[in-house]
Amino acid sequence: MKVHTKETQEKLTPRKALEILQDGNTRFVNNLKTQRDLLAQVNETREGQWPFAVILSCIDSRTSSELVFDQGLGDIFSVRIAGNIVNTDIIGSLEFACKIAGSKIIVVLGHNKCSAVKGACDHLEMGNLTELLSKLQPAVYQENQTKENRTSENEDFVQNVAKINVRRSVESIIERSYILEHMLESGSVGIVGAMYDVSSGLIEICTDSFYIKDEISPQLSFANFRH
């Protein structure tokens, strides 16, 4: 499979870019990985790169974006940090990916059984990790469905917090980046939240954190999207 060029990247819409990622995850789940000549892709990208998507995900060893979306060299930017949290450096990286390098879609990818989320649920404090986990605490406090056993032992609680954290990260990116906000409003970029299942490999789009400008409506909208 050929790598993306400037021309193929420019032709993509945010919706089409998301579809490419979803198709890749379908191949991954069904063990139908695309055959790629990676050394050829090294050669094809030596003069430049034209990734069509940027994925903000956790550092969890089971959630490699290139693998779970079945993408090759030069296809996506992969931004990884424990708990897929957002900070200034990460937002700057997303701005570079979209405004400078031309990526069409941002995906904030959380996952179940996340150790960082579990640490936040247990109010863990340990060295520099304390500051990182503090960025997950608002999602812990915002989870209001669980009345008892609000600890990492409760898988439902952990999952709820992880989903809230994805939504908050998406909202934070939009609120803190006027560059990306304007690109969203113009329809040149989309941003969605998603959750990866470490048991099945399946990625599901979060319908409460889906921002792609509708091609018909002039208004930026939440969209009901079905995987």
pLDDT tens digits, residue range 115-125? 999 999 999 99
Answer whether residue 102 is part of any domain.
yes
Number of domains in the chain: 1
Domain that holds residue 40: 6-113+159-211
In a domain, 151, yes or no: no
What CATH number should be reported for the domain holding residue 43?
3.40.1050.10
User: Where on the phi/psi map is residue 138: left (φ > 0), alpha (ψ -120 to 50), or beta?
Assistant: alpha
Any domain includes 11: yes
Averaged pLDDT score across all residues of the chain: 91
The answer to whether position 96 is within a domain reads yes
Query: Does some domain include residue 127?
Result: no
- Binned at pLDDT 50, 70 and 90, residue 223 comes out as very low
- Contact by Cβ (8 Å): 182, 199: no
- Mean of the pLDDT values across residues 43-66? 91
Does residue 106 lie in a domain region?
yes
Q: What is the pTM of this model?
A: 0.91
Is the pLDDT score of 73 beyond 50?
yes
Tell whether 68 is covered by a domain.
yes
The reply to whether 166 falls in a domain is yes
Beta bridge partners of 79: 56
Task: Tell which residue, 6, 112, 121, has the closest CA to residue 63.
Answer: 112
How far apart CA 86 and CA 223 sit, in angstroms, is 23
Q: Regarding beta strands 53-57 and 190-196, do their DSSP bridges make them parallel or antiparallel, or are they unpaired?
A: unpaired
Rounded CA-CA distance 70/21 in Å is 8
